[in-house]
Chains A and B, each alone.
Chain A
Amino acid sequence: MATRNVLPGFRLSTGYTLAVLGSCVLLPLAALLWTAFELGPSGWWAQIGTRRVLASLRLSFGAALLAASIDALLGLLVAWVLVRYRFAFRRVCDALVDLPFALPTAVAGISLTSLYAPNGWLGSRLVPLGIEVAYTRLGVLLAMVFVGLPFVVRTLQPVLESMESDLEEAAYTLGASPWQRFVRVLLPLLLPTLLTGFALALARAIGEFGSVVFISGNRLFRTEIAPYLIVQKIDSQYDYRGAAALGAVMLAASLLLLVALTGLQRWSRRWAVSR
Chain B
Amino acid sequence: MGIEISRIRRQFGAFVALDDVSLTIADGEFVAVLGPSGSGKTSLLRILAGLDQPDAGSVHRDGQDLLKLDARRRGVGLVFQHYALFPHMTVTQNVAFGLRVRPWRTRPKASVIKANVEALLQRVELEGLAHRYPSQLSGGQRQRVALARALAIEPRLLLLDEPFGALDAQVRVNLRNWLREFHRSLGITTLFVTHDQDEALEMADRVVVMNRGRIEQIGAPEQIYRQPATPFASRFIARGQSLPGKVKAQHLHLFGRAWPLEDFSLDNVHDVSVHVRPEDIVLASRQGEGLKAHVLNLRHVAGTVRASLRLEGLDEPLEAEWSERDWARHGGIADDTIDVHFHALAIFGVDREGHVRQRVTLHPSHVNSPVAVGPWRRIEA
Q: Which residues of A approach B to under 8 Å, CB–CB?
A: 166-167, 169-177, 180, 184-185, 188-189, 270-275
Contact = CB atoms under 8 A, between A and B. Distances in A.
Given A173-B51, A173-B78, A273 B149 contact: no
Contact of A169 (B84, B98, B133, B134): B84
B50 A176 contact: no
B82 interface: yes
A272 B84 CA distance: 13
Contacts, number: 69
B354 interface: no
Contact of A175 (B84, B88, B101): B101
25 contacts: A166-B80, A169-B51, A169-B80, A170-B78, A170-B80, A171-B101, A173-B50, A173-B78, A173-B150, A174-B101, A174-B149, A174-B153, A175-B72, A175-B98, A175-B153, A176-B97, A185-B86, A270-B133, A271-B88, A271-B133, A271-B135, A272-B87, A272-B135, A273-B85, A275-B82
B135 A170 contact: no
Contacts of B82: 166, 275
Contact of B84 (A166, A184, A271): A166
B307 interface: no
Given A175-B71, A176-B97, A274 B84 contact: no
B213 interface: no
A271 B49 contact: no
Contact of B135 (A167, A188, A274): A274
Nearest to A170: B84
Interface in B108-133: 133
Nearest to B103: A177
Given A170-B78, A170-B80, A175-B153, A189 B87 contact: yes
B35 to A, nearest CB: 21
A61 to B, nearest CB: 30
A169 to B, nearest CB: 6
A264 B103 CA distance: 33
A189 B88 CA distance: 7
Given A170-B86, A174-B150, A271-B134, 13 more contacts: A167-B84, A171-B97, A174-B97, A174-B98, A174-B101, A175-B72, A175-B101, A180-B101, A184-B86, A271-B133, A272-B135, A273-B87, A273-B134
